[in-house]
Each structure stands twice: as C-alpha cells, then as structure tokens.
Amino acid sequence: MEIKKFAVSMVIAMVIAPSSAADLVTFIFGDSLTEVGNNNYLQLSLAKSNFPHYGVDFDGGKPTGRFTNGKTIGDIISDKLGIPPPPPYLSLSPNDDAILKGVNYASGGAGILNDTGLYFIQRLSFDDQITNFESTKQSIKAKIGEEAANKLCSQAVFFIGIGSNDYVNNFLQPFLADGQQYTHDEFLELLISTLGEQLTRLYEVGARKMVFHGLGPLGCIPSQRTKSSRGQCLGQVNEWVQQFNSKVDKLIINLNSHLPSAHLTFADTYQSVSDLINNPSAYGFKVSNTSCCKVDTKLGGLCMPNSKLCSNRSEYVFWDAFHPSEAANLVLAQRFFKTMFASSPSPAPRPSH
C-alpha cells in the first residue's frame, strides 16, 4: 500500500509541480461535491442549492450553488495551489478570457450514465460536461491558436469526481429501472465501460493529466443510514463502492498503458473519508452519523430555508443528508495533500463557526 501511495504521489507531483502551481490551469468535472453554480443556470433543474442555508459560511454568507455551508474540497485545493477556484462553465461567455485559467463543469445530480439523476429534470451528465469542454477547447483555440491551445490543455490538470449519483440517485433507488434491470456486477461493468469511453474522449480532446477521485463510503452518508433500522452504515453499499474503486483503478492503469503521453491518476479517498466518519473525535468532530442541518430525507435530504441548523457547524462531518460540511472538506483536502506530497503544506485551520 505504501509503495502504491508513493507511486501516486510521484505522478501527482509531476502533474502539479509546486514551482508552477500559480500558473496551473485546472478543469473540474463532477457532481454536487464539486459544483460551484452551474445548475443555477438550468431553469428547470431540481438539483440546486442556490438558497439558504447553503453558503452560510462562504465568503459573503450567501448561497452560490455549492452544496455545503462553505467551501468545497475543490475550492480548498485551489486555495492550497494559490489559484482562484475555476468559475462555473454556464456563467461564462465563449469569448471570456477566464476560460484560459480553468473552468468548472461539475453539476449536481450528474453521473457517469446519462440516465442517472433523471428525476432532477435538468443536470449536466459527465457526457454533457465533456461536450461543454469540447466547446471550451474550440474557444481557446480561437483565442490563442491551435498549437497554444493544445499545449494549454496538455499541461492543465483535469480533476474528475463522479459516480456517487450513479449509486445514490440511480442503482439504489428501487423505483428506477437500472436497479431492477441489472445485477450489481452488470451495473458495475456498464459504469466502467462507459467511464473508459468518457476518459478516452477527454484524452482525444487534449486532456493528458487527469486525476480521478474515487468514491467514499456512500453507505455511511446520512441519507443511506436512514435505511438502517439502527442508523448504521450500509455494508453492502460500501462493498459495492469499493468494488467500483478497484475497477476504476485498474481502468486507469490500462488507459495509461495504451494512451501515449497520458498521465491518469486514481486518488483513493475511501479510507480517509471512512476514518473521518468512524473516528470523528480524532479530527475534532463530535457528530458523523447525522447532518448539521436537520433535513427530511423523505423530501430529498437537502437543507431547506426553513430547516434548523446545529449550534456548532464545525463539529459535524455532514452538512446535509449527502454532502460534507466545510469543516470536513478542510480535513479531507488536507489529507489529500498529505498523501500526495511529501512536503505537505501546513494543516488547514479549522473554521471558528
């Protein structure tokens, strides 16, 4: 395990050279864990967080479309790299110079499969996000020329975190077709084959340095615990997630072996998140089995404007039924950096709220 971590560290260090971090361009793909406001621009989307109490601890104390009380892990990683977090794709015009510094394509409710999150009406699936990046690439080419555009994309880092909704808002929902149509083994093969095609598609558009964040223990998030009579983690769900992570890891090894100049990395965050949930006091938390915002999981599990909040948000690992609190995101981002870099930055300060 330590040899593998070292190998991953070397790849990440090569991808994100500290000396050039200030000039780093990042493109972010994913779901509500990394969204920064794309769904605000989708008029019919039911997967939005542009209302109180979301953003209560973000700059200005107002909701931005982030599905937490403050910063996402992506925001914190950007802070550590000394770069501004990339803006949401749908907030930019095609000729906006901001596209040269990076873009966030993530969308709440998104999945690897296009039918994941269908009941949210509007969301940007991973395929949609790649299509949007293709448009960005064309705009970049129009601005700086084809050669410079190809160089920019080959040196940029593509952070990808997707797959949670394929379980939580697809396979695990008894009223949706996929959970009835497929065994888990069949569903997993569908996810992996589709993901392989999508990562190859990104490569063909110019992506070379890609970091794929594995899934955490979804069986332990509050929305899944409520399905247990005693509020415990769902072991079967966690087992499936670990099978998914293992398959993605092997997929990435395979892609690296036959895609010239590709540097894809699998960042396994399962154990870090699991340890935070199982040993919250070791990280300064008091509650990890329920959320700070008192949500109704039967009505979606989001933190509504009339929901009651806990008195100390920094003591809770989870903000709502699905998403970590900013305090948890700070810890997880720090763990990510400690794993990936031998000379880790100083520990992130815990929020005082």
Catalytic residue annotation: 32, 320, 323
- Which is it for the CA torsion 217, 109, 29, 71, positive or negative? negative
Query: Six-digit token pair at 122?
Result: 């509007």
Residue with tokens 């008029």: 43
DSSP 244-292: HHHHHHHHHHHHHHHSTT-EEEEE--HHHHHHHHH-GGGGT-SEEEEES
- DSSP code at position 227: T
Q: Is 185 exposed, middle or buried (0-12, 13-18, 19+ CB in 10 A)?
A: exposed
Query: Six-digit token pair at 236?
Result: 């079967």
**How far, in Å, CA of 25 to CA of 34, rounded?**
16
**How far, in Å, CA of 230 to CA of 248, rounded?**
32
Residue with tokens 């888990």: 184
- Which is it for the CA torsion 38, 81, 346, 276, positive or negative? positive
Q: Do β-strands 316-318 and 209-213 pair in parallel, antiparallel, or remain unpaired?
A: unpaired
Residue with tokens 């990339």: 86
In 3D space, the residue among 68, 107, 137, 148 whose CA is nearest the CA of residue 329 turns out to be: 68
